[in-house]
Structure 1
Amino acid sequence: MIGLLLLSTVVAATGDADAAGRALRRRRAGWLVLLVALFAAVAVPPYQQARREAQDRAARRLLLRLHQAQLEFHRQHHRYARLDQLQAAGLSPVGEGDRHQGFVYHSAAGTDTYTITARPLSPDGQPHTIDDSGLPDRPATAKRRRPPTPQERLAQARARAREQPNSAPAWIALAEALEAQNHPAEAVEAARRAARLDRQAGVEALYTALLARADALLRARQAAAALPLLKEAAALRPKDADAPALLGDAYRLLGRDQEALRAYRQATKLGMTAARAWLGLGRLHEARGERAEAGRCYLRVINIGADAFVPDAWVNESWAALQRLGGIQPKASPTSR
C-alpha cells in the first residue's frame, strides 16, 4: 500500500515537471517568434531600401550608357534609334521591353529626339528617364510638347508619303517609322522608294533597313532569305563592317564555312571594333575544332569590350568559351566591366 502511494506521488511529480517543461518551451518559442519579428521589423526595411537605391543607381548608369549609344548611332545614321535597333547594332544590352536589374526598358526615337524610360518592377519604385538632352530624370516642362508615340509617328509618316509620293524625305521618314514599329520588310520597300527618288539621301536609310530586315531573318534562322539583302547592303556601303559581319553569320548558319570566313575577315579589316565578326569567327573556328584560332578570336571580343561598347552577352560568351577551350582564366567576373 505504501509502495503504491509512493509510486503515485512520483508519477504526479513527473507529470508536473513535464507540464512545467512544456510551458517553458512554449514561452521560449513565443520569445523567439517575437525576436524574429522585431529583427524583421528593424532590419528588413533598411535592406529593401538599400536594394532599391542600388537598383536606382544601376538604372541611371545604364541610361547614361544608352545615351552614349544613341550619340554613336546618331553619328553613324543621322537619327536616333529604339532600343531594339541599338541592340541589333551591338550598342545596347537591352532591347525594347527587356527587364534588367529590377526595371523594364522602353523607348521612342526619331530623327532629332529620343526618350528611354526605365520603369520599376517594384510597385513602390520610381521610374527613370533620359532623352536627347543627356540629362537623366529631366523634369517635364509645360513648353515641351509630348512627343508622338511610335504608332502616331507611323500614321503621320504614312499620310505624308501619300501626300508627297515624290519626296525622298517622306519615304525615308516612313521607313524609319516602320522600323520603329517592327515592320522591317515594309521599311525596306519604303527605303528603296526613297533611294530611287534621291540616291544620295536614300542610301543610308536603305542600308539601315536592309540590315534590320536581315538581322530579323537571321534571328528567325532564315539565313537563305537574309543573304540577298546583306549582299545588297554590302554593295551600298562596301567600307562598312556591319554587312559583311552579318553575311558571315548567314553563311555560317548555312554551313558555308569558307564563305563565312571570308566575310568575317573582311569585316575585321573594315572595322576596328567589329566585335560581331570576331565572335562569329570564334564560333566558326571552335565548331571546326580549331581551338587556338577560336581562342584568339574570343579574346579579341573581350579586348574590344574593354575599350568600346560590346553587348555583355557577347563578352560573357567569349569568357565562357575561353574557359571551355582551356584558355586563360578570368581574374574577375566579365560583367564587372
Structure 2
Amino acid sequence: MKIAGKTVCVSLLLTIAMAMRSADQNTKAKSDIPAHLLTCPSPSISLSGKNGVSVTIGSNSQLACKLRPNLTVLTWKISPKVGGPCTLGYRADLNTTDRTNCSDSINWKFRPDLDAALEIRQVGIAQEGDYTCEIAATEGNYQERYYLTVLVHPRLSLYCDDRGTPVCEAAAGKPPAQVLWVVGSNSTPEEEGHKNGTVTVLSRFTEHSSNVINATCMVFHPAVNWSKSIVCHPSNNDISLLSVYIILCLLSIIILMAVIWFFKLHSDRLCHKTKPPEPSPTQSPQDDTMEVEPYTTYVQKENVIYNSVSDLTMGQSHPQGLWPAT
C-alpha cells in the first residue's frame, strides 16, 4: 500500500507537468495548482526483519540503532522473558530522555550526535527476549528488531562410574549441549531441565567388549566445543564389590553374635528372677528355751559354789559361837 501511494503521487505529478507544458508554461496556470499537490508525503519505511543476537551469560552486549536525520522521537521497547516490559525514550523537541521499568544493567546514555546503541552489562538469563528500536523522523518511521539469546556455558565432566562405565556430562547448559562418543555407542543421552531454563545432558558409554574401555567424549555447544578421553577398568569395580560384600558379611556376623549374647544375658536374668527364694530357718520357743536353760543351770551352779565358799571363809574367820545371827 505504501508503494502504491508513491506511484499515484508520481503519476499525479507527471499529469500536472504535462498540463503545464500544454499551457506553454503559463505562470497563471501554475499558480492555480494547489500547493499540496506539488509535494508528496514521505512514505513510512518499516524494517520488519528480526536480527538474532547470542550473548554468553555474564558478558556485555550492545544493540545498535542507526540514527536518522531530523529525528523527533526515539524509543527502545524491551520485552524480556522474565519480568515486565521496559521502555527507554528520547524526545528531540524537549531534548529529554526517560526510562520505565528498566533494570540498572541496561545502560543508555543517548546523545543525538552519537548513536542510539543500547548497552546491556553482565547479561543474565532474565535479559533474554525482544528488543525493538523505533525512530520517528521527518522522512518517516524506522524500526530495528533484535531477539537476544543468552548462552550458558555448561559444566563439562568425563568420569568412570562405580561400574567402570565412562560417563560424559554437560551440566546446566543453555541451550542443551550435544554429547557424542568418538567410538560408536548405542547410549541415548538423558536430559534434565532446571527451573532457570538450563538443561543437563548425561550420556553413558554402553558399547564395550573388553575389561579396559578407552572412550572419547565430544561436546558441541554454541558457547564451547570440547573433547576429552578417559580409560575405565570395570575389573576394579568387581574388586570393590567383593570388598563391600566381605565387609557386609563381617558386619552381619558381628550383629548376629551381639544379638545372641543379648538374648543369653537376658535369659539368665529371667531364670534368676523366676527361682523361688529359699525359706529362712525358723526357731521354735522350745529351741530358745533349750538354748537358754544350760546357761541358767550354769549360773545357778556358779552361785551355789560361790555361796559355799563364802560360808567356809566366814566360818574360819569367826570363832565358834560368834557367827552372826541370821
TM-score, normalised to structure 1, is: 0.18
| The structure with more strand, counted as a fraction of residues | 2
TM-score by length of 2: 0.18
Which structure is higher in RCO with an 8 Å CA cutoff and minimum separation 6?
2
Q: Which has the higher helix share?
A: 1
Compare CA radii of gyration and give the structure with the larger one.
2
